[in-house]
Structure 1
Amino acid sequence: VFFDRGEIASFELPDVDPGDIVEYLYVDSTFKPWFPSLFEGDWFFGGREPVLYSSLTIKIPPGETLIYVARNGKPEVKRKRNEWTLTMECIPPVIEEPSMPPLSDIVPSITFSNLTSWDPLFDWYGEFQKRRLRITPRIKRVADSLTSGVDEPEKKVEILYHWVQRNIRYISIKGGASSGVSGHPAEETLLKGYGDCTDKAILFAALLRACGIEAYPVYINTNDAGSLVREVPSFYGNHAIDKVKFDGKEIFLDATGYYSRYPSFWSADHGVWAVNALERKIEYIPIPPPERNARIYTYSMVLHEDGTLDVEFQSEYTGDYESWIRGFWDTRREEEKERVFQGMVKEVSPKAELVSWEIENLKDLSKPLRLKIRYRIKDFPEKAENYWIFRLPELQERMEKRELSLTERKYPLFYETSEMIVQRVKLILPPGKVSPPSSIELKGRYALFSGEYRVKEDTLYLEAIWKRWEREIPPEEYSEYRRQVMEAKRWLGKPVILELQ
């Protein structure tokens, strides 16, 4: 959202040997600040390197107020009139772990400001936004044309959401505070056909307002960039999205990308705080329930008497995972798609042969994306006299979670959003007696796994469901969560035994 102008200097330290302690001091000067009456900043006492001593001195003019919040540690504070000195010593380095929170949420730090209220920033942001949200005749014509014949407000939101994504390219051109903070006027972005996250948020909100729907651009830090310290008013945000209100609902949408099917939005926006200047509040963007971030895999299989397995596979999605999959396939040439599908079935088994593939609704954001694949595996089961032993393909691999490589953690396990994986199988078998694994249910504080096999005549059915509804797993809960995932993975890998007649 904000683009600073500055210079980067590099230098070398001569005659430094291993074990030496390096002390350094630097000055960060700001000229012609965007908001002259605001004095704010952050200081991080630690990082990836060990720190013996770190000190910050803050001086403010007489009569000014200073507020600050310390996180992840308590610095020693000395105050002398309008001067504060905050010091920490012997800070160990952060040893990175897989899927950990942003560094700024882990290391000891302070955030400070001379504002005791967000109101001045709401005023400043809001005035920029109001001017750029002006509903011009052209904006009104486009909004009316796109939603012609549509009465339901939610359907209008969906149509405009998809249109802005697909028709306004992401290109960022900024020239100063006004465009950096609140983007270009909505009509300008519409005419140019491109803009960045702020420009697209402004245009989307203007089109919605032209249809009589309340919409507000909001500033956020994506959840991989550090949390907002709400107690300290300051410049905030590396991204802009929209809050939309209709029919008694309040939702958030992100029109920045190209592939989010309504009502999904980028997972990096989930579980963060938003600065809503026009409504004059700081509000939380909730994490969608797992059902809104689902992957649903359906198999119809036939195991023939010669040991050949015919598979018809279909996958569909909700949420940001669908956006990623849609973007992946939309940017592949037709000849590439064939090779990718060939590789997918070979990952299932070196003996697998691709029969056919199909992608449904790739270009149509209003409909769910579906992948359909047919493949065949010869000599699928292991055979021992009249017993066949086999594991259903692909199921276990979807519970492969590399972020669980550590047996214990110092820092929380960090995900961008919730998750749901549904796997359903219908398998027609040769005549015989089938012995599948027993049913399972694993309930945890942060996730749930259930799996059940059913047998009806010569057909075996499986339904396995994994749900995780939280973004972060605390270190003290990690071992139990890891055990739950590993147990679910083991169960999905258990063999089915068929005794042939």
Structure 2
Amino acid sequence: MKKSVLPRLFAFVLAFAFLLATAPACSTAGDKTPAGAKTVKGVKGLHVVYLTDGNEYWGMVDRVEKDRIHFTHVDGKKSVYETKDVKNVTFQKKRLYHEIEHVSKLPDKQYYSQWKQNPYTGAMMRMIEPYRRALEARFNSLVLRKDVRCELAADGSATIETRIVKFILKEEGKSEMIDYFTYRKDREKGELVYALTVNPDGSVHHIKDDAINDEPLNNEVAEYDRLHRIKFGLPNVGVHSILDYAYRVTISKTDPTYPFILEHYFLGGVPVLEQSITVTTYRNGTGLADDFDPGKFREWPIFPGLEFYPKLAVRRFRVRGGGIRYVYKLGPIGGFMQDEYKTPPFSHFTPQVVVGLKTDWAKVGAAYAEKLAALEPALDKAVKKLGVLRYGTLGREIAEEAYDRIARKMKHVPVGMGGYDYLPQDPGPLVKKDIANSLDKAHLFLGICKLVGIKANLVLVRGQGAGPVAPDVANIRQLTTPLVRVMLDGKPVYCAFGSVNLRFGQIPSYLQDVRGLLIDGKESKLVQVPPTPPADQAATNKVSVLVKEDGSVEVTRVTTLTGGVEESYRTMRFSPVEKIRKDIEASFGEIHPNCEYKSHRFITGLDDFSKPLEVEYKYEISDYTKKGGDRLLLLRLPELSYSAGDVGRQKRRLPFYFGVHTQQIHEYTVTLPPGFRVRYTPDNIDPSPGADTCPYTYIASFREEGNKLIFTDRTENTSPSIPNTFYGDLKTKMEARAKLTKKWIILERGEK
């Protein structure tokens, strides 16, 4: 027995002694060390001793002897453990509250002072008791508190600290033990201040270093490796646990292309009892405190069905040291359930605070233009290596060729401005490797336009998903995506660079009808990017149907696509031909169980970006029509199917959100079997009164031409969002459209 135990003990002592000897040096006081004992003096942080019986203790290892470990607990108590009883020892960084083992010692009296065995008897729990049953039915957790504290120094640097306190309502909420925050390593430093779990018995469990991971998010491409994420998992989380943690991001470098900004949305997916933002700024010789803009609070109506209603309090007062402090408080506010179809993104209707330094958009744009001007020599050299500048090629032709070379053929790096930088980098190394993100592609495109004399400007916009621009807080970090506005034949053409599948002049739906900063020196200003007309976001289907007397139909459909659907289809150009065929063939099984795919043909090649994508499909469906005795055939138009599920509610809280102007057209030509005529068709649907004001329209009509039945319909919306005032009209139209496609067309044998 001794032969098996002693070698393991000796190995453990050596290994642990090595751990302590290589730990960072700092200072601890220890007892006198016996001869032969290993001593560690002043280790920054804590040790965690894991015993074989499952217990673990935090504190400091004073010394290690051959068969025992001398240990001082965080409360000062001393212990000696036999090495045979010790499973492992790890080194942990000291964090705030590391010495606290029971909830009664935590300083936040609002939540922890009256804690007892039953978690619902504490002061904090009494706050939520009236809502508890409703909350548990709808949510997995709730946020008890979210505090954001920002201190802006006179030199423009800033520290932003965020504290979050969550309460786990039920088993499914335990997944929220994992969270993360991001920072830019070139300008910022990220730090987890503390993270702890408080359980119903009052015990406090602290996060361990091995549950924290600082990881790069874009390290696959060294040229764009700046954004980091600190991901962490809290320990010992169960139902009715409280998760309490804080993290800090310190911004060390600010300039016109990376100024201080704080954006906060108050409404999220879970209820929040209390939220606050505190911003402190300090005065210096330049009057920074006076130049600070406390921001604008965007108030939105609170919709029925939310558990709580926000009450905003904004205070401004001076603090010691010449500073001014702004405090925004809101709470409690209910979590918003996405229980309606087609709702706008949260950012479109949540209360929001945006704060930044006082300036205006013209100054922001002028400062940015100066930075761009400094890159012009490198840009001129880089664009000449792209191979698109040829004598005699001007105007739209060179613009389209340059767009093809840069937007489609350069490898796209999917890292946005917020993940790398708001200013383009030196384009030379990027051209050499033939890679770039959206901003650097836009920059190269600008360079070509400049060399050939095409008027073009960079436009930095805020995408729809981020919500509207706060126009009163001029700050480039509000903006998310670059576009280039090119003037051709006296008309503006907007170009996007975030996709390799767009035609020249196409922009994705989320970048339409948004505001952005037009960079034009001292003439820089906010502009509105117009929405694409519905015809340029359309799917047009011309369908020929041959009805046979045996009940089968032969169908040829030619589909012409523009806009977002076209972009999605063109992703197939990177797939093998056989895979494309198999995927298309498999999709025809959804039309009808008896549907048999015959062929498809790309009339417009997937790589042909000179015109909209056009595709021809052929298929056959056996036993498709139904017989009504010897004389009647019942028919529905193949593939024509609409649903009214999105408008099932009688009333809505939020607008009906399409996100983009769209158009869908069907033109059916149905050839009847010999000797048959049309006996019945559903009624035509004409524009209803008020259609000139409602942004959504649907029309449909049937007519006979010889032995053919002609059906046409058109669905069109001319607004990305349908206001609730038109919801009744929208509901009526979508329901009528769905009913029409479920009705039978009746064909009858005989002469007219």
Q: Which amino acid in the other structure matches residue 566 of structure 2?
A: E
Task: Answer yes or no: is the 8 Å Cα contact 1:302–1:428 preserved in 2.
Answer: yes
Alignment pair present for 1:411 and 2:648: no
> Which residue does the alignment assign to 2:460?
219
Q: 1:418 to 1:230 in 2, by over 3 A?
A: same
Alignment pair present for 1:77 and 2:306: no
- Deviation string, structure 1 residues 318-351 (Cα, Å, up to 9, x no partner): 1222111111x21332222222222222211111
> Which residue does the alignment assign to 2:748?
499
3-state secondary structure, aligned to 1:440: coil
Q: Which amino acid in the other structure matches residue 435 of structure 2?
A: Y
TM-score (norm 2): 0.61
Structure-1 separation of matches of 2:257 and 2:562: 45
Alignment pair present for 1:263 and 2:263: no
> Which residue does the alignment assign to 2:295?
68
Alignment pair present for 1:132 and 2:375: yes
3-state secondary structure, aligned to 2:450: helix
> Which residue does the alignment assign to 1:467?
716
Q: Equivalent residues in 2 for 1:30-109 (5 A)?
A: 30-35=251-256, 38-62=259-283, 63=287, 64-65=290-291, 66-72=293-299, 75-81=312-318, 82-96=324-338, 97-109=340-352
> Which residue does the alignment assign to 2:684?
439
**1:19 CA displacement:** 7.2
Instruction: Please provide the CA RMSD for this pair.
Output: 2.9
**1:242 CA displacement:** 0.9
Task: Answer yes or no: is the 8 Å Cα contact 2:495–2:507 preserved in 1.
Answer: yes
Task: Answer yes or no: is the 8 Å Cα contact 2:552–2:624 preserved in 1.
Answer: yes
Q: 1:143 to 1:127 in 2, by over 3 A?
A: farther
Q: 1:27 to 1:363 in 2, by over 3 A?
A: closer
Task: Answer yes or no: is the 8 Å Cα contact 2:294–2:326 preserved in 1.
Answer: no
**Equivalent residue pairs, number:** 494
1:391 to 626, 629, 636: 636
- Deviation string, structure 1 residues 430-483 (Cα, Å, up to 9, x no partner): 222202222212454111111111101111111111111111123443343233
> Which residue does the alignment assign to 2:731?
482
Q: 1:72 to 1:28 in 2, by over 3 A?
A: farther
Structure-1 separation of matches of 2:441 and 2:258: 29
3-state secondary structure, aligned to 1:486: helix
Task: Answer yes or no: is the 8 Å Cα contact 1:215–1:244 preserved in 2.
Answer: yes
Deviating more after overlay: 8-17 vs 68-77: 8-17
Q: Which amino acid in the other structure matches residue 77 of structure 1?
A: V
1:110 to 353, 373, 384: 353
User: Percent same amino acid among aligned pairs?
Assistant: 21
> Which residue does the alignment assign to 2:591?
348
> Which residue does the alignment assign to 2:481?
239
Question: Relative contact order, CA 8 A, sep 6+: which one is greater?
Answer: 1
Q: 1:177 to 1:333 in 2, by over 3 A?
A: closer
Structure-2 separation of matches of 1:11 and 1:20: 13
Q: Which amino acid in the other structure matches residue 88 of structure 1?
A: L
Structure-1 separation of matches of 2:418 and 2:651: 45
Task: Answer yes or no: is the 8 Å Cα contact 2:696–2:718 preserved in 1.
Answer: yes
3-state secondary structure, aligned to 1:453: strand
Structure-1 separation of matches of 2:726 and 2:628: 43
Structure-1 separation of matches of 2:263 and 2:547: 63
> Which residue does the alignment assign to 1:276?
518
1:323 to 567, 573, 576: 567
Q: Which amino acid in the other structure matches residue 484 of structure 1?
A: K
Q: 1:406 to 1:262 in 2, by over 3 A?
A: farther
- Deviation string, structure 1 residues 13-50 (Cα, Å, up to 9, x no partner): 21158778888766543223345994431233332222
**1:406 CA displacement:** 4.5
Structure-2 separation of matches of 1:186 and 1:27: 33
**1:211 CA displacement:** 1.8
Q: Equivalent residues in 2 for 1:166-245 (5 A)?
A: 166-171=408-413, 180-234=421-475, 235-245=477-487
- Deviation string, structure 1 residues 37-81 (Cα, Å, up to 9, x no partner): 944312333322222222222222244232411113562222224
2:705 to 456, 462, 466: 456
- Deviation string, structure 1 residues 121-155 (Cα, Å, up to 9, x no partner): 22332222223344525624756546x5545x233
Q: Which amino acid in the other structure matches residue 118 of structure 1?
A: W
- Deviation string, structure 1 residues 393-437 (Cα, Å, up to 9, x no partner): 1112xx447654544332233333111001111111022220222
Q: 1:178 to 1:184 in 2, by over 3 A?
A: farther
Task: Answer yes or no: is the 8 Å Cα contact 1:105–1:227 preserved in 2.
Answer: yes
Q: 1:76 to 1:318 in 2, by over 3 A?
A: same
Q: Which amino acid in the other structure matches residue 72 of structure 1?
A: E
Q: Which amino acid in the other structure matches residue 281 of structure 1?
A: K
**1:299 CA displacement:** 0.8
Q: Which amino acid in the other structure matches residue 224 of structure 1?
A: G
Q: Which amino acid in the other structure matches residue 278 of structure 2?
A: T
- Structure 2: any 5+ residue segments left out of the alignment? 1-181, 201-237, 301-310, 319-323
Structure-2 separation of matches of 1:492 and 1:224: 34
3-state secondary structure, aligned to 1:136: helix
Structure-2 separation of matches of 1:157 and 1:400: 42
3-state secondary structure, aligned to 1:358: strand
Structure-2 separation of matches of 1:488 and 1:177: 43
- Deviation string, structure 1 residues 239-259 (Cα, Å, up to 9, x no partner): 212111122111211023111
> Which residue does the alignment assign to 1:425?
668
Q: Equivalent residues in 2 for 1:4-43 (5 A)?
A: 4-5=184-185, 6-7=189-190, 9=192, 11-15=195-199, 27-35=248-256, 38-43=259-264
Q: Which amino acid in the other structure matches residue 166 of structure 1?
A: R
Deviating more after overlay: 290-299 vs 261-270: 261-270
Structure-2 separation of matches of 1:464 and 1:375: 22
Structure-1 separation of matches of 2:451 and 2:538: 33
3-state secondary structure, aligned to 2:383: helix
TM-score (norm 1): 0.90
Structure-1 separation of matches of 2:258 and 2:467: 25
1:307 to 551, 556, 566: 551
Highest CA radius of gyration, 1 or 2?
2
**1:191 CA displacement:** 2.8
Deviating more after overlay: 66-75 vs 14-23: 14-23
Structure-2 separation of matches of 1:267 and 1:173: 19
